[in-house]
Amino acid sequence: MDGASDAEEDAALEALCGSIGLDLLQREGSDAEKRDWSVRVKAQQEAAPLPRTEARMDASTLQLTEKAWELRLAGDRCFSESHFTQAVRNYEWAMDVLRPVPVEHAGPSRCALLLKLGRCFLKSDLRRNFSMDPHRALRCCEQVKENDLHGTWQAEAQCLKEEAFALLPDGTGEAMTFGYSSQAPRKTAISSRQIEPKRRSKSNNTVYCLELNSVQTFNMLDTTLTDDLFFAMDAIKEDRMRRG
C-alpha cells in the first residue's frame, strides 16, 4: 500500500480502537491481532463504508477498551513472572470488561485474550496451587473460533490446541469435539447480592460472608462469579473504611 492508503487504514483503525488502543496494538499486539484488525477494517469499508465520525467509538466504549488493555497488560506481566493465577484473573476480568463492547470494537481483543487464557491453562505452579487444565485451554480454542470471523487466528489456535491435546491424559482427548456449540454460554442468575460482616467472639476477627441466591462454579464461562467477587472486595473495603 502507498502512504495515503496506510494513513487511511490507520485512521480507520483509530476509529475502531481509539488512539490509545491503536498505540498499544502497534506496540503490544500480536501479528495475528494486527492482521485481524486490518482485515476487519477492509471488510467493513468494502461492505458498508461509514463516515469516520459514525465508526468512532463513544466515550463509554473507549473507557472500557482502555480498561481492558490495562488488565491485559497486567496479566501479561503476571504471566511473565509465572504468576498464572493472577494472570487468569486479569485476563478474565478484561473479558468481562469487554462484554458490553460491540464486536467491531473488541473482536480481535477477545481472541487475543482467549489465547492468553488458554496458554495459562497449559501451565502449572504448585507453589501457588495452580494446576494445568488442558480441557479449559481447548474450550478457549473453541471460543476463538466463534470470534474469528476471517480465520486470522487459525494457526495460533491450532498450535495451542495441539499443545493441549498433548497434555491430556491418554484417551481423554478422543471424545473432544470442536464444532460450534448450539448452546449459549451458561449464565447464572442472581436476583440479589449482599455482603454482611460477622464477628468472632474469641479471635476478634471479622468474617465476611457473600450470599448468593444460586450455586456458582469456578469456570471461565461463568463470568458472573468474577463480578460477584470484585463486588465483594469493594464492599469489604468500604466496610473496613467505615470501621476505621
Is the same domain home to 142 and 209? no
Domains of the chain: total? 2
Amino acid 225: pLDDT: 54
Q: In whole angstroms, what is the distance from residue 35 CA to residue 49 CA? A: 19
The answer to whether residue 26 is domain-embedded is: yes
Helices assigned H by DSSP within the chain: 3-17, 19-28, 31-47, 52-55, 59-80, 84-98, 103-120, 134-147, 154-167, 223-243
The answer to whether residue 184 is domain-embedded is: no
Q: In whole angstroms, what is the distance from residue 57 CA to residue 133 CA? A: 36
Higher pLDDT, 200 or 217: 200
**Domain endpoint, select from 121, 149, 167:** 167
Report which DSSP code applies to 1: -
Is the same domain home to 103 and 212? no
Query: For residue 222, what are the domain limits?
Result: 194-243
**pTM, whole model, 2 decimals?**
0.66
Q: In whole angstroms, what is the distance from residue 55 CA to residue 97 CA? A: 20
Q: What is the rounded average pLDDT for all residues in the chain?
A: 75
If we measure between CA atoms, which residue out of 160, 127, 150, 136 comes closest to residue 38? 150
134-174 pLDDT per residue, tens: 999 999 999 998 888 888 999 999 999 999 999 987 645 54
Report which DSSP code applies to 207: E
